[in-house]
Amino acid sequence: MTDLFCVTTPNDTMRAALTDSFTLHEVANMDDPLTWLAQNGAGIEYVLTDGHYGLQADYFAALPDLKLISSNGVGYDAIDTDAAVARGVLVTHTPAVLSAEVATTALMLLIACYRNFRAEVENAHSGGWAKSGGLPLGRSVDNRTIGILGLGRIGMAIAEKLAPFNARILYHGRNPRDVGFTYYDDLTKMAADCDALISVAPGGAATHHLISTDVLNALGPDGVLVNVGRGSVVDEVALIAALQDGRLGSAGLDVFEDEPNIPEALRAMPNTVLTPHIGSATVETRIAMAQLAADNLLQYQKDGTVITAVPECAGLL
């Protein structure tokens, strides 16, 4: 049996797929993973992790024979891909299979912000409707100009789901794409032309606090920010200030800078809708992600190839 170092705890789908081919060594079952790796790390060629845990530098250094890191999730900024490529280690992730579900989460948050959904639900559940009547009217989602930060697979899925709402789509990214939407090379300028900005951008140094005070001010007092990408993309302190000051209308957030810790100020604001990083959190999607993470391991074990390597590893294939 081949040894597999599991930074994340394998779910039932992974166990069913992997246990005939791998011996699973799980961090969750170790008192001191680094001590275990010091004794057993040599010879381990495979790691299973996810987008949250990644692979910390101490673990990476203790695995001298590592060949493949399979990450269960589309984001992989918690893995040092430069170091992996330098050592000839392949990194895989699970794109595509979660795009539609994350797009649905973005749409859910967008609608919730416009229709004041959080307050309306509370008004019904609390009995407030019977006691005090209805709340101020929400606003329509139809016929909006929506800016998308990061028009990859998920961004395109969001654009497709917005079509029935007659949305005008703008987008910002590193380069324009051959799509029927309007490209902006300046995020602040795009924000000024948007009713709402949806961020699907990955984490990392290149996108850190890309959504800044200037961008939030450009969105304006009626603007809506939705983030289903990475929390680090948004300057959270600037966001709180903009919401408190009325310089930004509302925010629907599924990701945060210091997960799972959400600032009390964000949690207390009536003009926020917050979810605990559930972008892909459906039974069907999580099964598909887990299966792909397992399949990358199994295929590499079989013939040295993988299904979904991260772009940085293209030169290793």
- Which residue's entry shows tokens 């101490």? 58
Asked if 179 and 301 sit in the same domain, the reply is no
Asked if 180 and 91 sit in the same domain, the reply is no
Asked if 112 and 86 sit in the same domain, the reply is no
Asked if 197 and 290 sit in the same domain, the reply is no
Q: What phi and psi values does residue 11 have, to the nearest 5 degrees?
A: -85, 180
Asked if 49 and 85 sit in the same domain, the reply is yes
Catalytic residues: 230, 259, 277
pLDDT digits 0-9 by tens, 124-172: 999 999 999 999 999 999 999 999 999 999 999 999 999 999 999 999 9
Asked if 136 and 266 sit in the same domain, the reply is yes
Asked if 233 and 289 sit in the same domain, the reply is no
pLDDT digits 0-9 by tens, 33-44: 999 999 999 999
Asked if 269 and 124 sit in the same domain, the reply is yes
pLDDT digits 0-9 by tens, 77-130: 999 999 999 999 999 999 999 999 999 999 999 999 999 999 999 999 999 999
Which is nearest to 68 in space by CA: 89, 93, 38, 94? 89
The runs of H, that is alpha helices, within 54-116 are 57-61, 81-87, 99-114
- Count up the domains in the chain and report the number: 2
Asked if 143 and 269 sit in the same domain, the reply is yes
Q: What phi and psi values does residue 215 have, to the nearest 5 degrees?
A: -65, -45
Asked if 198 and 117 sit in the same domain, the reply is yes
225 neighbors 199 (Cβ within 8 angstroms): yes
Q: In CATH, what number is assigned to the domain containing residue 311? A: 3.40.50.720
> What average pLDDT does the segment 64-87 reach?
97
In whole angstroms, give the CA distance from residue 98 to residue 141. Answer: 24
Asked if 168 and 25 sit in the same domain, the reply is no
Residue range of the domain that includes 146: 99-274
Residue 317's pLDDT band, with cuts at 50, 70 and 90, is confident
| Percent share of the chain, pLDDT over 70 | 100
The pTM of the full predicted model, rounded to 2 decimals, is 0.94
